[in-house]
Amino acid sequence: MSQPALQRITVLGSTGSIGKSTLEVIAKHPERYHVYALTAHTSKEALLAQCKVHRPVVAVLDHPADAAWLQQALLASGLSIEVLAGPEALCRVSREVSVDTVMAAIVGAAGLLPALAAAESGKRVLLANKEALVMSGALFMDAVARSGATLLPIDSEHNAIYQCLPLEHRGGLRQHGVRQLLLTASGGPFRGWSAESIATVTPEQACNHPNWSMGRKISVDSATLMNKGLELIEACWLFDATPDQIQVVVHPQSVIHSMVAYDDGSVIAQLGNPDMRTPIAYGLSWPERIDAGVETLDLFQVARLDFEAPDEMRFPCLRLAREAMLMGGAAPAILNAANEVAVDAFLDKRLGFSDIAAVVANVMAEPYDGRADTLEQILAADQWAREHAALIIQQQVA
């Protein structure tokens, strides 16, 4: 058997939940994958530890003082690794000519520019950072098409749908006999709770996802169902679908990661343990399969699979996201930015849980007359929404 081609990889957000899982899978296959760059925001000790194990060529931190600290610590450990600082360095390690694959696993809008840089440079882009696509869907997909990049979804639901679709699904789902995409949702930690109980939950409760271990921002998004809203927009762009072709199905066990319904009545599903190493390994090795270190699903232990409709009255964020996608233009970027500001405020205990949806709804209700065709316009809409959300939160607190 021939040796697989070696992939040189940049892991954006390597100190996060997805970043760490990515490095676990990479470490199992040293003959296939070499790390080119590792990046973090402020977690310098964690990045130092990762550098010692994975020996990247470059490491990136946000602040120059942190980068200087890391450079010193690496030299003291006898490691010659180049350390860079700042957002432009993230784009540089995404674009680097010798890099084949970029794992885009920075959380939030901060991940947009380096993910886009990878898409524009024709890389294999492993996209976990759903906010990038929500903000810049048309622009991002256009960059992929023009550069010939290979875009592989890492978000578990989209990875599942990708696995359930025919190989060539581009250019419309209908012509491939696809009737609907069934996007599964766990329902989050507050599924079935009354509106009154939901209103008083703490960040710790919101971050305690029933099935997945994830970063704090996405955990809160799962709890409000904004995660499913962002994923609906993400699916529209990835699979060239309209919101009405996507049905959200609450499935509390998170064992079916999503499904595709076909014209002949077939429903094809992808199942597995709720462990992100599976979609990560799929993205790394596609079109082959590698060991991800994940056990085969024990169906006898799962025993039952439940399904219900999402409750958009108690969890309005899903409806807000669908409306943003239907509005188009800058609306998804505005939704995303307002949500990021509101989630930050909730995690800081400056805002109640139910106020997250209220802040997003209020920002979306404000008239915005800008377009969202260019990156500059998208970033302007993002900035506008952040300012409005901050103002609304300030007024609520005052």
Residues found near ligand NDP in the complex (CB under 6 A):
13-19, 40-43, 62, 105-107, 110, 128-131, 155-156, 212, 214-215, 217-218, 276
Q: Are 102 and 127 in contact (CB under 8 A)?
A: no
Asked whether residue 80 is marked as a ligand-binding residue, the answer is: no
Bridge partner list, 60: 39, 84
**CB proximity list for 341: less than 8 A, separation 6 or greater:** 359, 385, 386, 389, 390, 393
Residue 341, binding choice from Mn ion, ligand NDP, ligand DXP, none, Cβ under 5 to 8 Å by partner class: none
Count the neighbouring beta carbons within 10 Å of the beta carbon of residue 303: 8
Closer residue to ligand DXP (CB): 99 or 201 = 201
Q: Please provide the distance, in angstroms rounded to a whole number, between the alpha carbons at the two ends of the chain.
A: 68
d(CA 380, CA 386): 10
When binding is defined by CB under 6 A, the residue of 56, 188, 310, 332 that contacts ligand DXP is 188
Q: Are 76 and 46 in contact (CB under 8 A)?
A: no
Closer residue to ligand DXP (CB): 96 or 155 = 155
Residue 56, binding choice from Mn ion, ligand DXP, ligand NDP, none, Cβ under 5 to 8 Å by partner class: none
Amino acid (one-letter) located at 92: R
Residue 172 backbone class (left: φ over 0; alpha: ψ -120 to 50; beta: rest)? left
Q: How many residues lie near ligand DXP (CB under 6 A)?
A: 12
Closer residue to ligand DXP (CB): 142 or 308 = 308
Residue 58, binding choice from Mn ion, ligand DXP, ligand NDP, none, Cβ under 5 to 8 Å by partner class: none
Is residue 318 near ligand DXP by the rule CB under 6 A? no
Residue 77 DSSP code: T
Q: Name the one residue in this structure whose structure tokens are 């979609």.
A: 279
Phi, psi of 82 (to 5 degrees): -75, 130
Amino acid (one-letter) located at 133: L
Closer residue to Mn ion (CB): 129 or 156 = 156
For helices 130-147 and 112-120, give the axis angle rounded to 10 degrees.
Answer: 20
Interacting residues with ligand DXP between 218 and 277 (CB under 6 A): 218, 222, 227-228, 276
Asked whether residue 188 is marked as a ligand-binding residue, the answer is: no
Residue 189, binding choice from ligand NDP, ligand DXP, Mn ion, none, Cβ under 5 to 8 Å by partner class: none
Residue 228, binding choice from ligand NDP, ligand DXP, Mn ion, none, Cβ under 5 to 8 Å by partner class: ligand DXP
Minimum CB–partner distance for residue 174 and Mn ion (Å): 25
**CB proximity list for 370: less than 8 A, separation 6 or greater:** 330, 377, 380, 381, 384
Residue 62, binding choice from ligand DXP, Mn ion, ligand NDP, none, Cβ under 5 to 8 Å by partner class: ligand NDP
Closer residue to Mn ion (CB): 155 or 344 = 155
Residue 74 DSSP code: H
Bridge partner list, 37: 10, 58
Which residues define the annotated binding site for Mn(2+)?
155, 157, 231
Give binding residues for NADPH as ranges: 15-18, 129, 131, 215
Q: Which residues bind ligand DXP (CB under 6 A)?
A: 155-157, 185-186, 188, 212, 218, 222, 227-228, 276
Detail the residues annotated as belonging to a binding site: 15-18, 129-131, 155-157, 186, 209, 215, 222, 227-228, 231
